[in-house]
Amino acid sequence: MLDHLQRRIVETLAEAHSVTLATYGPASIQAHVFPCEAQSGALYILVPRTSDHLFNIENHPSVVATTERWQVYGAAEALPMCPAGLALGGRPDAAWSAVVRLIPVRLHIAPTGPAGCSETIDVL
């Protein structure tokens, strides 16, 4: 991937502190707002361990995460533990939550202002 596109993805994802995560699978369609953090081009989402999102991700790892400014499509997986260096691990709700890593496949960025253009970046 071109360096300037990779930087654009990293900078865009870093803006968010919460996202609406949408999954589908045996637990039907699910969409909820969760805290998140971006690191090294991936998006990490803190999801309660009792959430049906985790069951869906086990069966269908394709997910969408959305903010007011962008949507990212990608493959998600629940991690066995919070990666070192993530602030999400220090949150009070981290003890009863799982960290889901979303690896972007496609990023849609909404236009900024009336004269702006939307952008789509395909990662793979």
Strand duo 70-78 + 62-66: pairing = antiparallel
Tell me the C-alpha distance between 27 and 123, whole Å.
28
Q: What range defines the domain where residue 71 resides?
A: 3-122
Residues 88-101 pLDDT 10s: 999 999 999 999 99
β-sheet bridge partners, residue 32: 21
Residues 3-45 pLDDT 10s: 888 889 889 999 999 999 999 999 999 999 999 999 989 999 9
Structure tokens at 92: 């009070």
Q: What is the CATH number of the domain that holds 108?
A: 2.30.110.10
β-sheet bridge partners, residue 100: 45, 78
So what's the pLDDT on residue 1? Answer: 53
Structure tokens at 104: 């972007």
Tell me the C-alpha distance between 114 and 65, whole Å.
24
For the chain, the domain total comes to 1
Tell me the C-alpha distance between 105 and 67, whole Å.
16
Tell me the C-alpha distance between 21 and 34, whole Å.
7
CA–CA distances in Å: residue 97 to residues 67, 80, 91: 21, 11, 10
Please compute the mean of the pLDDT values over residues 103-124 and round it to a whole number.
Answer: 87
Please compute the mean of the pLDDT values over residues 66-82 and round it to a whole number.
Answer: 96
pLDDT band at 117 (very low <50, low <70, confident <90, very high): confident
For tokens 């970046």, name the residue: 121
